[in-house]
Amino acid sequence: MKLKSYFLYLILVLSLSVINCGGSANPDRSSQEPYTPVEPKDPVELDNTLTAMKLAKAMECGWNLGNTLDARSDASKVYPFNQGLDSETCWGEVETTKAIIETGIKNGYKTIRIPVTWCNHLTDTNYTIDSKWMARVKQIVDWAYDAGYYVILNEHHSVHDKMSTPLKKCEGYIVRPEDEAESKAFLKAIWEQISQTFNNSYDEHLIFETMNEPRDTAHEHCWNTQPDTCDICKGEVALVNKYNQLILDTIRSSGGNNANRFVMVPAMGTGINEALKDGFKLPEDSASDRLIVTGHMYPLDSGGTGHGSHHFDSNTQNEITYNTRSLYSKFVSKGIPVVIGECGAARKASEYNDELQKSVYISDYKVTFEDRLKCFSFFAEQAGKYTMPFINWDCGGEDGMATVDRKNCKMFETEDSKKYVETIINAWKKGNENAGSPTEIEPEEVSLDGLGVWDSSINSSFTNNILYFGKAWEGANIWFGEKIISDYKTVVITYSACTGNVQCHLSYTDKTNTSNTPEVFSSGSGTLSVSLDSTKKLEAIFFQGQQDAVSVTLEKIILKP
């Protein structure tokens, strides 16, 4: 998951918590203290007859052990550095116990994703992972594996913000061509050690994930590459493919069960939109039918900063429908499963205020239970329809994204009126009963809250749905950015009380528009229908007055399939 600032407050609060369901937090422990290694498990056979799609069906829904083994301190700029075992609680989560791990599966989850950061646990410049850290990771993986989960183990935050230029040895990896050699050396060494520790003692219930949200953290397009117009993006997209290939080859070369283990691979930033672009390629695999695509999506947090869209509306619903249906078309329909490795929405949020030197609540951020339940039960049903395992990003306690109450070893929101996880799991299963049947895009009402006038200080205004222009050729617009409209045919605008000529035209991201032949509102009331070019992306809808002192009341704007 992106390291969003609005979790800092939750982290500080949770760091004061004491676990009471099977262990106690010990923030003072370090890798210098003795740690009892986990006993080796007996070898087991991998089911080589299991298809990737059957595995995906069995994985169903799950949760992430978020902000735990992936937590890291950025205090040290000397590499290598070994943060020790206390990193597990440095982002505010309690020390993990067997009882915590078992809580999820006892309440219906089938899969657990265990994010692990390795770059802060190196003991030398040969990228050697601290043996005590490896033992701790193995202990938690074994608890999950023995409980009956499908367990996803990955490399998580060794690519992070504010990385050096050039990349320092043992700092981690980055998707930047000038740092390719150092990045590859790190990734290869890390995965050689992971593959050695986790091999013949684990069957198909253990799944590897090559990277989490790989990207060039300093590039302006790191979360939304533009390879058609940006040469840097084009090269970096190809580099992600190279990294996936290197890690897969490293896993396979370790032999044993890893020669045929299921492996999840991401596109740039683990974005769904990135996986759908032509530049993303699956690595060549010596094993057959063992690759899984993974993607992340946070539909109620469009801004990624704690501000943004927090209500489940037709726009959010159609975004989910489009993405899941497109993933099905590109991958699932061809027998390549997709795992929604992270999703969720925090209930509340805060961000760190540098001036006040503390975290403060974001006043306009609040996601209601009803919005979360509507959004993610719909999302889960669509994921189930296309047999995509659906895994909640779990952290931050009762104000964050957590569904598992780690302090008390129970689930959040289990009362009769708020059975969140149970509802999500049932929605996934309901969708899976009709696996493969595509969902159609619904008509989408465009929020008028997004309409802004160009010169509101002097001549124009938009109040109570009344758009007023005080002089000719004043304007207003609703901005979409890069809205995919492949499923839409028309924009239908219902209006009333039009006092004169007001024109409407559309603008697309390729800078073409309909201004040469704009549609014009007639006086009085009516409906204006504007055809869409569904081969393009919609940038904005523009309105302009053609005479002095003209106004129109906008009732509704609807995108229709």
Place of tokens 């201004």: 515
Q: Which of 155, 182, 209, 213 is catalytic?
A: 213
Q: How far apart are CA 319 and CA 317, in angstroms?
A: 5
Number of DSSP helices (H) and strands (E) in the chain, helices first: 10, 23
Q: How far apart are CA 343 and CA 82, in angstroms?
A: 30
Token output for 47: 């089911």
Q: Residue 467's closest CA among 541, 538, 559?
A: 541
Contact between 499 and 522 (Cβ < 8 Å): no
Place of tokens 């580099």: 239
Contacts of 112 (CB under 8 A, 6+ apart): 62, 63, 64, 65, 101, 104, 105, 144, 149, 150, 151, 152
Q: Which of 204, 342, 351, 413 is catalytic?
A: 342
Strand partners, 495: 526, 554
Alpha helix segments (H runs only) across 352-398: 369-385
Residue 33 bears catalytic tag: no
In this structure, are strands 460-463 and 410-411 parallel, antiparallel, or unpaired?
Answer: unpaired
Residue 155 bears catalytic tag: no
Contact between 352 and 358 (Cβ < 8 Å): yes
Q: How far apart are CA 394 and CA 91, in angstroms?
A: 13
From its phi and psi, is residue 57 left (phi > 0), alpha (psi between -120 and 50) or beta? Answer: alpha
Contacts of 239 (CB under 8 A, 6+ apart): 175, 176, 177, 180
Helix, strand, coil % over all residues of the chain, rounded to 5:
30, 25, 50
List active site positions: 213, 342
